[in-house]
């Protein structure tokens, strides 16, 4: 009883102001990451067209960043269980900022793809480390009301990003998109240095990093993605290249899984999968990831290539999606904190996600915009109810010593699924658009030089500049892209149904009222008490007591001596 009371006294409850101060640098860092992605989203068709890229390269610009994020996320998360988390957050922000600035000087699409890999590595760190740091500061039960405010700031970056990106592209050109976040990144670094104070991981032995696992994970996931994205396009599925890539990916991933069972500090601890909550959350994350990444990638193409919108107009048109997602995230976060109930909201969100992607699969180039806005709002609300809560319930059900690995791996599987999903959907989109254009142009005879030039450009496979096409061909291109993008969303429907089933079977565990740092401290204190009791028990049988710092023999005088020692430990 004495120990419990003293432990409680040692941990004063933080005021909301103290919590907001502690997470201010994290919030600005997340804002930079969100802004950098959204500010470019509406400009991507213009960027690819200006750099002379193809539809395949358009997809790879997105995929390269997602791939690097996916591979690096579990690595960052595992490092957070081993080394100083504050340094890791700052390092990931620096890597991300450097990659973003270099991207603004890209001279061709291949350079842009390469630099997006650097960006992705930084994003992988920010996305996983920020959630881990928040879990160390705020308990699962209280996290919703704080994350609601954080969500509002993220909404500013998410909603304002496309609008700002479109405006910058139309006024100063697309390169300015990559420089707008630099001042915020510098501010985040300053705030992190002076406001973020996190407990350092307590390890009983020297830090051991699974370098072999890192290499196998990178090789396996990268080769798998290359095989999926280029198969049927750059090479035939039954070609020797395809077989070599498939075998390499399979061997590397199998070897990685085998290695993780035996190394001291695995990147992906296989013991996590023995827990029902973690395993089902991963399955749900895979399904949700495809829907989330697909909408972020293909909505800009839909509005600019199927509806002829400018980048600025495209940003404005995505507002219903963002309002639904961020509004649901903020409101449901507050309700979860107030009442401690999460499962009903997550089930509702998974159902809305399924309905939303089903509606998106019905889009056409002439679908009335109020209907498109309604479809986006439903899908956004569903994603907002599920995404942040998946990480929350995993953190709530995981030992704080594996907090980094568990949190980051949920994000890892969501990102890798989204990456593969976007790649497959992009491949289907390219095939569908080419098929629809061929059917529409069958028998079409160009009558003007502009029409001849436009057909030659389309035949090259480059992403078209819809606003510069003759009206006759423009209508064909818009119709093909509208129908093709809708076809791509069909892939997400069965996956969304799987997310409903997975969430339905997750154990409805009450949310803890203690943050991860408090749980780690209690575990350390409990371990110390167990060691002390074991030493006392051993010395009682021999008539002596071992004291810290020296070995001396004292006569065993009964319980009074033991109580005095316990009291000294409690005060210390």
Whether 382 shows a pLDDT value over 70: the answer reads yes
- Among 3.40.50.300, 1.20.210.10, 3.50.50.60, 1.20.1250.20, what is the CATH number of 15-197+265-514? 1.20.1250.20
Report CA-CA distances (Å) from 518 to 95, 136, 139, 522: 31, 8, 9, 6
For residue 240, give both structure tokens: 């020797």
564 pLDDT more than 50? no
Does the pLDDT value for residue 133 go beyond 50? yes
Query: Is residue 234 scored above 80 in pLDDT?
Result: no
Cβ burial, residue 86 (10 Å; 0-12/13-18/19+): middle
Question: What Å distances lie between residue 567 and 3, 90, 139, 563, CA to CA?
Answer: 8, 41, 29, 6
Residue 565, pLDDT score: 42
Query: CA-to-CA distance for 193 and 216, rounded, in angstroms?
Result: 34
Q: How far is CA 159 from CA 41, 315, 373, 542, in A?
A: 11, 8, 14, 71
Q: Kindly indicate the confidence band of residue 68, based on its pLDDT and cuts at 50, 70 and 90.
A: confident
Q: What are the extents of the domains in the chain? A: 15-197+265-514, 210-264, 519-571
> So what's the pLDDT on residue 286?
84
Query: How far apart, in whole angstroms, are the C-alpha atoms of residue 440 and residue 458?
Result: 13
Task: Cite the DSSP H helix spans in 361-508.
Answer: 369-396, 403-441, 449-459, 471-489, 492-504
Rounded to 5°, angle at Cα 92 from 400 and 271: 30
Q: How far is CA 193 from CA 22, 35, 84, 88, in A?
A: 11, 21, 13, 12
The mean per-residue pLDDT over the stretch 18-22 comes to 72
Span 127-132, average pLDDT: 78
Residue 458 has pLDDT above 80, yes or no: no
Strand, coil or helix: 490: coil
The alpha carbon of 246 is separated from its chain's Cα centroid by a whole number of angstroms, namely 26
pLDDT in tens, 275-329: 888 899 989 988 888 887 777 778 878 888 888 887 777 777 888 888 888 888 8
User: pLDDT digit string (tens) for 263-280?
Assistant: 887 888 888 888 888 899
- Residue 468 — left, alpha, or beta (φ > 0 → left; ψ -120 to 50 → alpha)? alpha
**pLDDT above 90 (res 356):** yes
Distance (Å, whole) CA 434 – CA 481: 9
Query: How much is the pLDDT for 134?
Result: 79
Return the residue matching tokens 């270099």. Answer: 102
Output b/e per residue, 134-157; b: 16+ Cβ within 10 A. bbbbbbbbbbbbbbbbbbebbbeb
Q: Which of 193-202, 214-223, 445-454, 514-523 has the highest mean pLDDT?
A: 214-223
Contact 478, 301 (CB under 8 A): no
Task: Provide the CB-side half-sphere exposure for 457 (13 A, CA).
Answer: 19
Report the Cα 354 to chain-centroid distance in Å: 20
Which range, 251-260, 314-323, 559-568, has the best average confidence (pLDDT)? 251-260
pLDDT attached to residue 563: 37
Cα distance between residue 176 and residue 158, in whole Å: 18
The model's confidence at residue 154, banded by pLDDT at 50, 70 and 90, is low
Across residues 425-449, what is the average pLDDT? Answer: 82
Six token digits for residue 226: 């290359």
Scanning 273-318, the segments in alpha helix (DSSP H) are: 276-301, 311-317
Look up the pTM and report it. Answer: 0.72
End-to-end CA distance of the chain: 15
Average the pLDDT over 220-233 and give the result: 78
């Amino acid at each position: 009883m004495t120990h419990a009371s003293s432990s409680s006294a040692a941990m004063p409850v933080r005021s909301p102001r103290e919590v907001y101060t502690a997470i201010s640098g994290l919030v600005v860092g997340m804002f930079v990451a969100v802004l950098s992605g959204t500010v470019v989203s509406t400009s991507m068709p213009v960027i690819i067209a200006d750099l002379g890229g193809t539809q395949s390269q358009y997809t790879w610009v997105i995929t390269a960043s997602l791939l690097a994020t996916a591979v690096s996320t579990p690595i960052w998360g595992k490092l957070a269980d081993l080394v100083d988390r504050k340094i890791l957050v700052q390092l990931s922000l620096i890597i991300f900022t450097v990659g973003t600035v270099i991207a603004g000087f890209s001279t061709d699409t291949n350079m842009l793809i390469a630099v997006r890999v650097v960006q992705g590595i930084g994003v992988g760190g920010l996305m996983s480390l920020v959630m881990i740091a928040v879990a160390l500061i705020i308990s699962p039960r209280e996290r919703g009301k704080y994350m609601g405010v954080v969500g509002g700031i993220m909404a500013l970056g998410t909603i304002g990003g496309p609008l700002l990106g479109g405006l910058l592209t139309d006024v100063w050109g697309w390169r300015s998109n990559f420089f707008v976040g630099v001042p915020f990144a510098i501010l985040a670094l300053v705030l992190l240095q002076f406001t973020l104070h996190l407990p350092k991981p307590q390890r009983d032995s020297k830090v051991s990093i699974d370098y072999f696992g890192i290499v196998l994970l990178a090789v396996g996931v990268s080769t798998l993605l290359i095989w999926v994205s280029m198969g049927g396009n750059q090479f035939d599925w039954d070609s020797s290249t395809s077989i070599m890539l498939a075998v390499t990916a399979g061997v590397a991933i199998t070897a990685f899984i085998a290695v993780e069972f035996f190394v001291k500090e695995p990147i992906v601890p296989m013991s996590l999968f023995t827990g029902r909550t973690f395993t089902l959350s991963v399955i749900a994350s895979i399904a949700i990831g495809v829907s989330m990444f697909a909408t972020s990638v293909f909505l800009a193409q839909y509005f600019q290539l199927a509806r002829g919108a400018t980048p600025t107009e495209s940003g404005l048109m995505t507002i219903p999606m963002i309002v639904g997602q961020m509004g649901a995230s903020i409101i449901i976060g507050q309700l979860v904190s107030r009442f401690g109930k999460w499962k009903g909201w997550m089930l509702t969100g998974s159902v809305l996600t399924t309905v939303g992607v089903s509606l998106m699969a019905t889009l056409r180039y002439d679908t009335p915009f109020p209907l498109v806005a309604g479809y986006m709002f439903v899908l956004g609300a569903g994603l907002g109810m599920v995404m942040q809560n998946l990480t929350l319930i995993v953190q709530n059900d995981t030992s704080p010593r594996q907090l980094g690995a568990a949190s980051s791996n949920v994000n890892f599987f969501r990102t890798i699924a989204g990456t593969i999903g976007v790649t497959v959907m992009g491949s289907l989109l390219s095939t569908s658009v080419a098929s629809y254009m061929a059917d529409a142009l069958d028998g079409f005879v160009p009558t003007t030089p502009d029409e001849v030039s436009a057909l030659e450009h389309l035949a090259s496979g480059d992403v078209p500049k819809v606003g510069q096409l003759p009206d006759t061909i423009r209508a064909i291109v818009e119709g093909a892209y509208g129908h093709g993008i809708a076809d791509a969303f069909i892939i997400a429907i069965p996956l969304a149904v799987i997310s409903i089933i997975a969430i339905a079977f997750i154990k409805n565990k009450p949310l803890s009222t203690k943050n991860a740092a408090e749980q780690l401290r209690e575990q350390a204190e409990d371990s110390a008490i167990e060691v002390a009791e074991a030493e006392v028990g051993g010395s009682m049988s021999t008539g002596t007591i071992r004291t810290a710092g020296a070995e001396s023999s004292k006569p065993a005088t009964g319980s009074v001596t033991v109580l005095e020692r316990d009291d000294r430990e409690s005060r210390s």
